[in-house]
Amino acid sequence: QQQVKQSPQSLIVQKGGIPIINCAYENTAFDYFPWYQQFPGKGPALLIAIRPDVSEKKEGRFTISFNKSAKQFSLHIMDSQPGDSATYFCAASNSGAGSYQLTFGKGTKLSVIP
């Protein structure tokens, strides 16, 4: 069964800290790894995504690190702000299967305290 395992379940950091959220996958056919951000009462929104041909991708304060051999990827938030407090979901899909369905991790609730 396709699985994406995400940790930690919750995370509290002080403003300016660098929270790190980790995900591990089992299916080596996965070739697209997005991260979604969800605020309370809202639907998830795409934050940043990576493909396995690169080891790192940065967009603003958000960075994905990807380790293909370990089948792991992580999200780093630089200079975290209280406005970053949200639930973050990693996901993975296999474009080769033609379905493009996303398999989501269980989510990490991030709280950034002032």
Distance separating alpha carbons of residues 69 and 39, to the nearest angstrom? 32
Nearer to another protein, 62 or 104 (CB): 104
The verdict on 18 binding another protein (CB under 8 A) reads no
Per-residue contact track with another protein, 83 to 102, x per CB under 8 A?
----x-x---x-x----xxx
The verdict on 62 binding another protein (CB under 8 A) reads no
Find the farthest-apart pair of alpha carbons in the chain and give their distance in angstroms, rounded.
44
Distance separating alpha carbons of residues 81 and 13, to the nearest angstrom? 9
Q: What is the CA radius of gyration of the chain?
A: 14
Residues 50 and 64: beta-carbon distance below 8 Å: yes
Select from 13, 49, 52, 72 the one that contacts another protein (CB under 8 A).
Answer: 49
Phi, psi of 82 (to 5 degrees): -55, -30
Rounded least distance, CB 12 to another protein, Å: 15
Amino acid present at 66: F
Select from 11, 25, 35, 44 the one that contacts another protein (CB under 8 A).
Answer: 44
Select from 34, 35, 66, 80 the one that contacts another protein (CB under 8 A).
Answer: 34
Nearer to another protein, 17 or 52 (CB): 52
